[in-house]
Structure formats: C-alpha cells, structure tokens
Structure 1
C-alpha cells in the first residue's frame, strides 16, 4: 500500500528523462500504466466480504507521526476513482496535448497530484493527511497554471491556491485541536472518542475550522469562485481535478469525519444549508454561461453541493445516495469534460454561441454527450445512472425523521425538498442547454476557426469507457451495490448501511413525482430561456463574489506595497537596524513577561588567569574592528575573536568544538578576504547624530540581550536538564562516541535536514539568478 501511494512520486522523478524522447514515443503512454496498475491492485479488494485494512510504516514515531494507511469502503471508492479516472485522463491527454507542449512538466505535475490525492484518502494520521492535502493544492496550482503564458491561467491558478490554502490552514487548526483533545493523531481513534470532542468547549471552533477546509476545497458557496477560473487549465486537467479528484477532497473529509460530527445539530444546519445553497446557486448560474467548460464548472459546483447536502442530512438513505452519486458524477462529468475538450480541439472554440448542429460532424461525440448530459439531468431512463442517485436524493430530502423537527432545524427540514427540486430544475436546464446548444440546431460553420470533424479514436476511447460505466451502472446497479457502494456508505455512517437500488417504485412514488416536476418545469424554462434570461441582471446583478475577491487581493497588495515602501529604501543599514531592533524588543518583552531575567552565580566554575587573558584579548579585538578604517585589518582583527573562542573551548575541554570553530573561522576569514579584496576602501560616512545614537543604543542593547540570554539560560531551570539523557543514550541509540555529532545528526536530525533544505533552496535561487539572462545590449 505504501508503494501504491509513493509510486506516482517515484515515477515523477523519471518523467523528465523520458520526455527527452517524446518525438519517438509520447510519455503519456508510460504514465497511463501507473494509475492502471494502482487501479488493478486496489480493485482486488472489491467484494461482499471486504474488511478494512490498516498498514503502518514508521516515520517520526517520537512525534506520533507515522505513515498509517487505512483502507475501508470510503477510501477504496476514492482510490478507485483517482486511479481509474487518472488512467483514462492520462490516455486522453496523449491525443489532446501536442508533442510541442512541455509534456515533461505536465506529467510530473499530474503524477504529483495523483500521489497526493491517494495520500489524502488513505492516510489515517491527521498530519500525514494534512501534508498530502497541501500537496494537492500545490500540484493543482501547477496544473491549472500549466499554460503559464496566458494571463487567465496564472490568475486562475493563483486564485485556486489562495482560497484552498486558506482553507487548508484552517483545517490544520481543527486537526491540532482534535489531536490535543484526544491525545492521538489517528483519525479512527479520534472517531472512537467522539463524545470527548462533541462535549468539548472547543467543538464549535473545531467544526467551523474543519468545514472551512472542506468547503474551500470542494468549491462550496461562497468559496466556489475559484472553480470557474480554474477552467483555464487544459481539458485533461479539468476532467481529472474537477470531476473525480480535487474537488471531492472536501467531500471526502466531511464523509470521513461524519461518524464523529453528524450527531451534532450544527453539523446538519451548516452542511445541509451550505450544500443545498451551493446546488441551487451553481445550477442557476450554469445556465448563464456561454463557455462549455464554464457550464461544466458551475454544474460541478451544483453537483458537489448536492453531495454535500446529503452528507449533511446524515440519514442512511442520504449517506447511501451521496456515496452513490460520488461515483455517478465522476462517470458522466468526466466524460462531459472530455467531450468539451473534443469540441474545442476539433471545432476550435468552446463558445456555445458559435456552436450548434455539430451532431452531423461529430456523431460519436454527440452520442456520448447525449448519455452524459441526460444522466446528469436525472432523466428517468433505466440505463442512466444519474437518475438513480438523483431519485435517492429526493427520497432523502423527504425522509429526515432521524432529525429533530424543532427551531432552525425544523425550518431547514421543511425547505429542503423544495430547494432540491429548484436546484434540480436548473440542473435539467443546463444539461439540455449544453447538449442542444452544441450538437443540435443550426450550425455556424462560418464562425468556427476550423471545420469540425470527428475526433481520432484515441481521444474517444476514454469518454466511451466512462459512458459505458454510466450505462452499465444504470442497467445493473446491484453489481456495484453490495460489493462496493454499501461498504463506502457504511464507512461514512459508522454502521452498516444497506439500500436496494430500483428503477421503478410505482406511479405515486414521491421522488418520481418530483422528477417529473423537474422535467416539466425544466423543459418550460429551457424553451423560454431567452424570455427570462434578463433576470440575471437583477440576481446576481452587479453583486459578485469575484469582485469581492479581486477587491480584497488588490487592497492587500496596495497596503503591503505601501508598508514595504515605507522601510525598503535601499539602505542596508536601515534593514539591519530594523531587524536587530525588532529582535531586541520582542526578546526583552518576552523575557520580562516570563521572568527570564534570572541571575544565579551559585553554580559557576572557577575562572583562571589564561581564561581572563583570552577574554580580554577578544574584547580588545572586537572593539578594534569598530575603530579601524581598513577593511582587511578589520577582518584580521575579527579573526582574533574567533580564534580566541577556539582557545576558550580548549581551556574548557571541548576539543571537538575547538576544531570545528578553527575550521569555520579559517574558512570565513579566507572568504571575507577574497570578497572584500574586490570592494572599495572603507570611507567614513557622515551620519546624523540621531542615527549614530540609534546605532549605539541598538548595538549596546543587542549585546546586553545576548549576554542576558546566556546568563538566563544558565540560571533558569524551568525544565529538567536533558544532558543526562544524551550522555546515557549517545552511544546506545546513536552509535557514536562524539556526543555533539550524534545530537546534530540523530537526535536533532530533522533540524539538520531542514537546515540543509534551506541551504539547498538558497543555492538553487542563487544559481537561477546567475543563469537568468540579462538584457541584451542594443547595437
């Protein structure tokens, strides 16, 4: 299981080397194999006798952070979607992306995202989950901004990252709170202690932070605004991220924590309300769009809202319907994104105002779109899987008997069936609008950039497979119910969930009446769309969450620029003074608050004459660096201070530290001499008396601070000394006699690792600046 998660990351390292031969063989063929193998591996877990599987791999056991992977029905559902849709999208991209594109970059980002999503849905350790969660934001940013030469792509990528990372930080807060309360980092153990969290005074904050992370990731209202702009990404990215994977990460998070949170009335109020509002708003706004991917973007928002609302209901029927629709949505929406890509690829535009009558030129694509859109619309036909889950959604909205019918909860319960029908009516409208506006009616060949023709078979294979999934699930829903959907629903509910899937329940079946109502009113609204379209001038009118976002970002940039210009005047002296003054004030303030000004002379070693002599020499040398006007002289005198420190280490019987200090000091002095040789001579700078006084105060204050920190660190005994632990375990656990080296390499190995990472990043930045091409001189 660990290999399955890490395999995409491993292959991502190899892809840049394979892309060198892209003229001979498209790297997409190789990439397609990876998710296909992962899908085959996890598909073997399907079956009626499936039991959850947990695997643990040691990582940072001292912090209770280990790679713990938990496979149950819910995570299996998402793993199969991530790998199955991933394989189809990778194959589709072979024919969509030209070899002239930066294919190496694309497939590296693609695999990084795939591995991150697998890590999210399989991780049982909350901090490992969060790490993968942020990796999805980073890799999706790179995928959405793949065509970085386009302003719209850069805007969409940045927008998605700002909103989802904001939600990710709030999620981290919730995870930290739950970890502290339950004293565990395991999600399953947290769920087993649900009463401890539900009864905590911090529960409202935990719920708000957790749902904020989920809502931003799954484009719930009002955080949905990033998803339409993310459509600037290549169509394979949209088909993968925005149908089956990234946007469903928030859905997964809510589903995973449902056994813990669903018993709270606030969970029902918030999740159901936000979900149903998102459904209605997304479907309403989809009809307004003119770009095919724009229609699909808002349709995705509405479908995600529908799933989220069902998770908020929390009943057995609702949970089963939510899980079922997660699968159904991935099949028909993934195929429709690919259809939109085919239309764009073959007709040269996605503007539905210029399209029409394409069924004659793209008959196979039109047939695929027909099945996909009618399934999304929930048309009552037995071979469309979308109808089954839509009918279950209506059924769930009518049967909320497990929830108390009082106060706000009762009011929301009363509204839910009506809002479900309202949102579904517009779902029907945008579905038929997508199909008939593109493939039926009068063709406008003169307005198309190129004459349309059917896509190559390679580009059709992936959507054909997905549409076959739509049909087979519709015709044989029992095939996936007991061995698949029931397990996933049981994992969400926290107890066994069984629900039979039938097409026909009788003429008087309330959900069927609701479906017929949707068909009738949806047809009327579609046929009269031009007459009522002006209503968009009123709702939303000039109001827009996008304007709020743009205004907020612009103000932040303006204010930050003003503040930055206030102190960034090009003076290195000012920068040093600001940094040192800030450190001085904060440190002294913290020491004053915590009682850090402690002086204890009861445990000091005797001072000998050689030590006094070396200390006085170091003081004289330090003062000498200030008084000299020659840079070379200053460096040599400063070297006396460093070598003096080495002498003190020798006198205090620390030869390893003395040798280290000698090497560092020698190298530093040599480097200073080499660099300063090329600089002009020191000249006395005329400064105002106030500046000189400020320099004096900061210098003396900073020196006093460092002295006080050293004295206080020795005098304050807030904690038991750790030195005995190092003495006892250096050789036993670290396998070395040199205690300092063992501490740096083993006991504080993470610190050392991240120091190396920082140095590596700095080195790459410097290398990039060196290689950055300068402006060519004009001849």
Structure 2
C-alpha cells in the first residue's frame, strides 16, 4: 500500500518534464496512469470475503509515529472513490483544459491532493493522518486558486484554506489528548480503549475538537461558506474535490472515530443536529442560486449534511444508509459537476437565467443531467440509485435509539420532519437545475457562444458515472455484500447486513418520499411566487459578511500591532529582542530551579585570571563612555583578546587560537566599516533611553552570568565529558581530549567553522579590494 499511496506524488515529480510535450500529447494522459493503477490494485480486495490489511513502517519510534496503513471496508470504499473518480476526472480534464493552460501546475497539484486523500483514509496513526489532512488543505488551496489571475479564485482558495486549516489544528488538539489518554497513536488501539476515553475528564474537549476538524472539512453549518467560493476552481477540481473526495474527508473522520464517540448522547446531538441543520439550510439556499456550480455547491453541502446526520444516528440501518449514500452521491454529483462544466465550456456561461432549451442542441448532456438530477432528488424510480439511499435515510430517521438526554430525544423526534423538509427543497433545486438549463425558453441570443454538444471525449466520464447510477439502481446486490456491508461493519464494529430493494411496501419511509415529490412538484411550479422569501430569510444576514468582517478586523489589528514595533528602528528591535530573552529565560530558570549555586567543585581562582577579568570588565565599561570610534573599536577588541588569554590560562590553545582569529577579523570589519559607524560625539539620548539601555544591559549581563552558573550547577542529565575522556585515546588516537573532540568526534562542526572563517576572510578581502578600487578612481 505504501507505493500505491505515494505513487501520485512520485509521478508529480516528473510532470514538469512530461508537460514539455503537451502540444503533442496532453499531460493528462500521463497523469491518468496513476489513479488507474491504484484503482486496479485495490479492486482486487472487493468481494464477500474480506480481511483487513495492516502495513507498518517505522518513522519516529520515539514519538510512536509510524507510517501505518490500515485497509478495511471503510477505507477501501474511499480509496476506490478517490482513485476511480480521480481517473474519470483526469480523463475529463484532458478535454476540458487546453494545452495553453499551465498544465504542469494543475496536474502536480492534483496528484499531491490524490496522495493526501489516500493517506487520510488509509492512515492508522493519528499524527500521520493529520499530516495528510493538512496536505489536502494545502493542495486544494492550490487547485482552487489555479486561475490565480482571477480575484475570486484567490479569495475562494484563501477562504477554504483558512477555515479548513483552523479545523485541522483543532483536530490536532483532539488527537494529542487522545494519544495522552490512551498512550497510543494508533486509531484501532484507541477504538479498543473507547471506554477509557468516554470516562476521561477530557472527553468533551476531544469530541468538540475532532468534530470541529470534520465539520470544517465537510462544509457543515456554519463552516459551509468556503465551499460555494471554491467553485471558482476549474470544473474538474469541483467534480473531484467537492463531490467525491475532499469534502468527504470529514465524513470519513466521523465514521472512523464513531466507535469511540457513538455511546455519548452529545455525539448524536452534535453530529446529527449540525448535519440535519446543514441539510435543510443547504437545500433551501440552493434554490436561490443562479450559477450552475453555485446550485451544485449548496447541493453538496446539503447532501453532506444528510450523510453526517445518518452517521450521528449510530444505528446499523443508518450507518449502512450513510455508506450507501456516500457511493451514490459520488456518482450523481460527479456527473452533474461535469455536465455543468460542459454547459459552461460550450455556451460560455453558467448563469441559469441565460440558459434554457439546450436539450435540442445538447441532447446527450441533457439526458445525462436528467439521470443525475432525478437521482439526486430521490425520485422513486427503480433505475436511480439516489432513491434507495434516500428512502433508507427516511426509514432510519424513524428508528432512532432511546437517549438519556431530553435534548437528544427532542432532536430525534424532530429529525424525520426536518429530513422531509430539507428533501423537498432538494427536489426543487434538482428540478430547477435540469429544467432551467435544458428545457424551457430558448435564449441562445444571450449566450456568449453558440451552444453545441460537447466532444465525445468530454462526455465519456459523465456517461460512466451515469451508468453507475443505473447499474447501482438496477442491481444494488452487486455492491451490497461485496463493499457496502464491509464499510458499514468497519464503522459499526459488528457485521451489518441490509437488504436493498426498490419496493418495501407501503411503509412510512415510502410515504415520506411521496410527500417530498408531491410538495416538491408544487413548490417547483410555484417557485417564482414564493422566491421572495429569500428577502427575509436570510435577508441581509450573511455568514460570508461575518467571515469578511472577522478577517478584516484580524488584518487591521495585526497591522496596528505590527506597526507599533516595526518602525525601522534597529534600536527598538534590539530592545524588544533582548527584553524578551531576559524575561523568558529568567522565568524558565525560576520554574526549573536554575538559580542553584554550588561552588564546592570549582577550581580556585588565581591572580592571572582576576587580572584578565578586571581588564576585560574595565574595557567593556569603557566602551560606554568613549566618544571616539577608533578607541571604541580597539577597547572592544581588548574584551575579545582577554577572552583568548583566559583560554590560554585554562590550557585550551585551540579555542584561544580560534578566538584570536575571530576577534582579529571582527576588529578588521569594524575598521573597514569605520565611515558608516554612527558619530559618537553627536549622540543625544534622553534620560528614559539611557535608563532603558542601562536596564537592558544589566539584565542581559546578569542573565548570561546566571545561565553560565546554572549550566554548571544544574545537571539534568549525566555529563558526557566522562565518555570523551574514556574514549578519546581509543577512538581518536590522541590524549588531548579537546583536540580529539574538535577534529574527530565533532569533525564536521570544525570543518564548517573553518568554512565560516574562510567566507569571512573572503568578505574582508572583497571589502579591501572595493575600497582600494574606489580610492584609485
């Protein structure tokens, strides 16, 4: 599995070179090989008999982080969707994107996203999962902003990344708490300790943080606002990210962790409550849209809310229905996004107000759209897969668990009504989409381009997806026990068996479906009469405006804070840096008992050491009072050369030589920059500035003294000096321990120090030559 996951990323390395031949052969044909190979590799796991597969690769053992891949029914379903839909989208993009586009950029981003999604659904280690999770946010940001010359594309890309990364960081917090409580980073091991997690004092935080990551990624209310703006991406991106893969990452996360959380009433309240709210709001707002992809965006939000609602139920029937609808949604929504792209490609617009009557000129696209929209609407026809999972959703909403919480029971009673209400608007926007585009009044004169049917190559991918709609509708048993049951079992933890058939008799769920169709037809016919309701709901209220306001306030506040210290004054920068160091270090020393003072193991101080130290201190103090630049440079050199003498006294000739060289170079550099140094005789500083200088100087000096003493007296670990003393002769062949350390044991350090000195010498030589050249001129 390791190679399969990273195959797209490996191929991405070669895309910039392969794209050089794009005029002869479209780059998409090379890219198509990756998802096809992955799909073929994982198809072999489909069957009634299925055994989970675990592959483990060590990465950071000390932190219990390994690249561990776990394949069960749930991850298999998602892998097949990622690779299968990925192959179809790639093939579609070959005809959608012209070779004049930056194809290498597009396909590199697409392949990185494919690897990220495969990593998310196959990872068993929470921190590896998080790494792939954030890679999906970054790569989707690049894909959404692919047409970066468009302001709306940049806006949509930034919006999606800010919201999803915010959720991802929250999710990371939940993962850290989970790993601390369970003492493991394996998801499967965490599931085995579900009772420990449920009884933990941090369970509420874990649930909230993990769900926040899932809700932001899967565009649940109120975080759904990024998805419509992400429609500025090319249609292949929309068909891939926003119907089958990225937005379902949050669905996958909830499904994967539901065995841990499902026993809590709050899981049902949060997941099903937010899910059904998203279902209703998304379907209601979809009818308001005029852009084809805008309708599909809110449709996706609504459908994701429906799946999330079912996962929150936690019953066998609901989980099977959720898994079934994940598959169905990928087929009809992927095909509809592609049809929307075809309409835009062939007419030059996605504005449904300018479209109409296209069926006469685009009969194949229109037929495909009819299948997709009627399946999405849940119309009770035996060859439409959407009806099967929609009816199972209704049925599962009528058979919920009994909850101990009154709020949970109240929600469980309201969900069937909300499900029907949201589904009615699903029917309305589905009919609005297909009839408003392909039937009705012809307005070809308002179109930027004369419409015609798309090239056959562009139609192949949506045709395959629509065939999937029909095949699943006519023969659902082919997918039931071979993949859907395994996926549901992976979520529920026990075997899940469900019988899929078109006719279940006159059960309440069927009446709910009839109610959806009946009320939906009435609202569709009378849509223009009641559409004015949007002036009041939501009216002027807008979550997008709230997002823009919050972002603007953050940027303004950040600018004000930054401008208070970023004013171009080097002195202010040094003051802030040194003050921060002093405060943080003293705080750390105080918390770790760093002020310990022990002189019992120190050598006696001799007269030469005292004299050298006094000379250095006198020179350092003298630099404060001198007004002569040359004198200041030479006096400062006394401090450095005095340190060299101390090294000589302490029998460290190598360090003394190094210090002498460095100090000589430093003095030379100061002298070369002599004319650029400030005029010390014209310094006019206020008492406040001088006081601050004294305070910082004393504070930093005391800090360095305390750090030196603390480093000597605070022994948190066994000293390594004994190791060097014992092994210097045998390993380095010398008895001068310092020499052996510098030349052998830390030879690379010494080599790079020499390189630094060489670079400094060359710099000085260059300055001297430059000065001589100017003097000659």
The answer (yes or no) to whether the contact 1:293–1:340 under 8 Å persists in 2 is yes
- TM-aligned CA distance change 1:660 to 1:379, over 3 Å: farther
Q: 2: CA distance between counterparts of 1:156 and 1:477?
A: 38
The answer (yes or no) to whether the contact 1:405–1:413 under 8 Å persists in 2 is no
Find the partner of 2:557 among 547, 556, 559: 559
Greater Cα offset, 241-250 or 662-671: 662-671
Q: 1: CA distance between counterparts of 2:105 and 2:480?
A: 39
- TM-score under structure 1 length normalisation: 0.89
**Partner residue in 2 for 1:516:** 514
1:50, distance to aligned residue in structure 2 (A): 1.2
Matched, 1:153 2:157: no
**Partner residue in 1 for 2:163:** 163
Q: 2: CA distance between counterparts of 1:642 and 1:340?
A: 73
The answer (yes or no) to whether the contact 1:726–1:739 under 8 Å persists in 2 is no
Q: 2: CA distance between counterparts of 1:4 and 1:153?
A: 31
**Partner residue in 2 for 1:713:** 711
1:591, distance to aligned residue in structure 2 (A): 3.4
**Partner residue in 2 for 1:201:** 201
**Partner residue in 1 for 2:186:** 186
1:47, distance to aligned residue in structure 2 (A): 1.3
**Partner residue in 1 for 2:698:** 700
Q: Deviations over 1:262-299 (max 9, x none)?
A: 01111011111100110000000000000000000000
1:530, distance to aligned residue in structure 2 (A): 0.5
The answer (yes or no) to whether the contact 2:348–2:448 under 8 Å persists in 1 is yes
- TM-aligned CA distance change 1:678 to 1:126, over 3 Å: farther
Greater Cα offset, 575-584 or 158-167: 575-584
**Partner residue in 1 for 2:683:** 685
1:238, distance to aligned residue in structure 2 (A): 0.8
Q: 1: CA distance between counterparts of 2:419 and 2:131?
A: 36
1:513, distance to aligned residue in structure 2 (A): 1.2
- TM-aligned CA distance change 1:217 to 1:686, over 3 Å: same
Instruction: Please give the secondary structure, in 1, of the residue aligned with 2:56.
Output: strand
Q: 1: CA distance between counterparts of 2:675 and 2:508?
A: 87
Greater Cα offset, 707-716 or 356-365: 707-716
Instruction: Please give the secondary structure, in 2, of the residue aligned with 1:496.
Output: coil
The answer (yes or no) to whether the contact 1:231–1:294 under 8 Å persists in 2 is yes
1:626, distance to aligned residue in structure 2 (A): 5.2
**Partner residue in 2 for 1:465:** 464
**Partner residue in 1 for 2:758:** none
**Partner residue in 1 for 2:756:** none
Q: 2: CA distance between counterparts of 1:582 and 1:232?
A: 44
Q: 1: CA distance between counterparts of 2:139 and 2:742?
A: 39
Instruction: Please give the secondary structure, in 1, of the residue aligned with 2:57.
Output: strand
Map 1:329-728 → 2, pairs under 5 A: 329-400=329-400, 402-404=401-403, 407-506=406-505, 508-607=506-605, 615=613, 619=617, 622-623=620-621, 676=673, 679=676, 682-683=679-680, 684-717=682-715, 719-721=716-718, 723=720
Map 1:122-141 → 2, pairs under 5 A: 122-141=122-141
Instruction: Please give the secondary structure, in 1, of the residue aligned with 2:69.
Output: strand
The answer (yes or no) to whether the contact 1:325–1:389 under 8 Å persists in 2 is yes
Greater Cα offset, 649-658 or 7-16: 649-658
Q: Which has the larger radius of gyration?
A: 2
5+ residue gaps, structure 1, are 753-779
**Partner residue in 2 for 1:770:** none
The answer (yes or no) to whether the contact 1:730–1:739 under 8 Å persists in 2 is no
5+ residue gaps, structure 2, are 753-777
Q: 1: CA distance between counterparts of 2:745 and 2:167?
A: 37
**Partner residue in 1 for 2:326:** 326
1:441, distance to aligned residue in structure 2 (A): 0.7
Greater Cα offset, 704-713 or 479-488: 704-713
- TM-score under structure 2 length normalisation: 0.89
The answer (yes or no) to whether the contact 2:356–2:439 under 8 Å persists in 1 is yes
1:61, distance to aligned residue in structure 2 (A): 0.6
1:195, distance to aligned residue in structure 2 (A): 0.6
**Partner residue in 1 for 2:771:** none
Map 1:19-38 → 2, pairs under 5 A: 19-38=19-38
1:689, distance to aligned residue in structure 2 (A): 2.2
Q: 1: CA distance between counterparts of 2:722 and 2:435?
A: 75
Q: Deviations over 1:240-259 (max 9, x none)?
A: 11011111111111000011
1:575, distance to aligned residue in structure 2 (A): 1.5
The answer (yes or no) to whether the contact 1:153–1:233 under 8 Å persists in 2 is yes
Instruction: Please give the secondary structure, in 1, of the residue aligned with 2:350.
Output: coil
Q: 2: CA distance between counterparts of 1:256 and 1:651?
A: 66
1:550, distance to aligned residue in structure 2 (A): 1.1
Q: 1: CA distance between counterparts of 2:365 and 2:747?
A: 60
- TM-aligned CA distance change 1:536 to 1:704, over 3 Å: same
1:447, distance to aligned residue in structure 2 (A): 0.8
Instruction: Please give the secondary structure, in 2, of the residue aligned with 1:67.
Output: strand
Instruction: Please give the secondary structure, in 1, of the residue aligned with 2:149.
Output: coil
Q: 2: CA distance between counterparts of 1:72 and 1:517?
A: 38
The CA RMSD over aligned residues, in Å, is: 3.0
**Partner residue in 1 for 2:85:** 85
- TM-aligned CA distance change 1:382 to 1:629, over 3 Å: farther
Instruction: Please give the secondary structure, in 2, of the residue aligned with 1:184.
Output: coil
- TM-aligned CA distance change 1:598 to 1:545, over 3 Å: same
The answer (yes or no) to whether the contact 1:730–1:742 under 8 Å persists in 2 is no
The answer (yes or no) to whether the contact 1:238–1:337 under 8 Å persists in 2 is yes
Instruction: Please give the secondary structure, in 2, of the residue aligned with 1:121.
Output: helix
Map 1:240-319 → 2, pairs under 5 A: 240-319=240-319
Q: 2: CA distance between counterparts of 1:626 and 1:299?
A: 72
Instruction: Please give the secondary structure, in 2, of the residue aligned with 1:146.
Output: coil
Q: 2: CA distance between counterparts of 1:290 and 1:580?
A: 58
Instruction: Please give the secondary structure, in 2, of the residue aligned with 1:25.
Output: coil
The answer (yes or no) to whether the contact 1:276–1:420 under 8 Å persists in 2 is yes
Q: 2: CA distance between counterparts of 1:730 and 1:404?
A: 69
Number of aligned residue pairs: 742
Q: 1: CA distance between counterparts of 2:536 and 2:431?
A: 24
**Partner residue in 2 for 1:767:** none
The answer (yes or no) to whether the contact 1:374–1:384 under 8 Å persists in 2 is yes
Q: 1: CA distance between counterparts of 2:665 and 2:140?
A: 44
1:741, distance to aligned residue in structure 2 (A): 10
Greater Cα offset, 159-168 or 599-608: 599-608
1:664, distance to aligned residue in structure 2 (A): 7.2
Greater Cα offset, 676-685 or 367-376: 676-685
- TM-aligned CA distance change 1:30 to 1:600, over 3 Å: same
